């Protein structure tokens, strides 16, 4: 499986058989130009949408029209398991609901937390289940921050953690840079490219933090 970090909360995941899954496609230039990542040029078969804010659900700007996943579903033979959560710590009163989506590609179970805004409850942790790769927001303010993200990693016990939704030179949101989350973590692997290939046999025994620079 290949994982490409496009930017913000958007990843492109490609199975060995060629199925392409895109997560949370953003609208380039949204929020008055605060989100400056370039347009998404990657076509996909399936788009996983955590919520309907324009920096997470802009399927209309994509080069094709992928099948969208917003609820539990089987799409192209892949089981998508969705756990309902919130975009804030007040049960959605400030920013609404959020969906956590898990699925298996090439025998690797991936979980995308979307714009999760609170620490998971024990019931939610149980519903999510065992995870190999966790795609987790770490910037804070609009989502969980470094401290809450660390608690969630400790609760879910993934094999690989890939941070997302953090401040960069192309994101003017008032959120934290990725190093605030990675500080003190071990082991941390910092890739110089935005795409990585991971096979089932490559999964580490101990939790490993993997930084991917945004492609766009």
Look at residue 67 in the predicted model and tell me its pLDDT. Answer: 96
- Tokens coding 87: 């975009």
pLDDT 10s digits, 25-71? 999 999 999 999 999 999 999 999 999 999 999 999 999 999 999 99
Distance CA 130, CA 159 (A): 10
Look at residue 61 in the predicted model and tell me its pLDDT. Answer: 94
Give the mean pLDDT of the chain. 96
Give 101's contacts (C-beta < 8 A, 6+ positions apart).
23, 48, 50, 69, 80, 81, 82, 83, 111, 112, 114
Look at residue 117 in the predicted model and tell me its pLDDT. Answer: 96
pLDDT 10s digits, 161-210? 999 999 999 999 999 999 999 999 999 999 999 999 999 999 999 999 99
Look at residue 94 in the predicted model and tell me its pLDDT. Answer: 84
pLDDT 10s digits, 104-133? 999 999 999 999 999 999 999 999 999 999
- Do 161 and 207 meet the contact criterion of CB atoms below 8 Å apart? yes
Domains of the chain: 2-211 (3.60.15.10)
């Amino acid at each position: 499986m290949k994982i490409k970090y496009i930017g913000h909360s958007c990843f492109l995941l490609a199975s060995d058989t060629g199925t392409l899954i895109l997560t949370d496609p953003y609208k380039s230039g949204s929020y008055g130009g605060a989100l400056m990542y370039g347009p998404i040029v990657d076509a996909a078969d399936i788009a996983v949408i955590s919520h309907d804010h324009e920096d997470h659900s802009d399927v209309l700007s994509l080069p094709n029209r992928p099948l969208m996943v917003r609820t539990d579903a089987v799409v192209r033979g892949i089981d998508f398991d969705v756990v309902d959560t919130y975009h804030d710590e007040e049960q959605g009163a400030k920013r609404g609901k959020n969906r956590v989506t898990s699925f298996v590609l090439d025998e690797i179970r991936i979980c995308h937390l979307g714009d999760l805004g609170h620490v998971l409850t024990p019931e939610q942790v149980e519903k999510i289940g065992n995870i190999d790769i966790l795609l987790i927001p770490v910037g804070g303010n609009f989502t969980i921050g470094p401290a809450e993200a660390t608690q969630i990693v400790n609760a879910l016990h993934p094999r690989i953690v890939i941070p997302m939704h953090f401040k960069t030179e192309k994101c003017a949101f008032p959120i934290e840079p990725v190093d605030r989350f990675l500080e003190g973590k071990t082991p941390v692997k910092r890739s110089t490219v935005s795409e990585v290939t991971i096979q089932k046999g490559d999964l580490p025994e101990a939790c490993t933090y993997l930084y991917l620079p945004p492609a766009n």
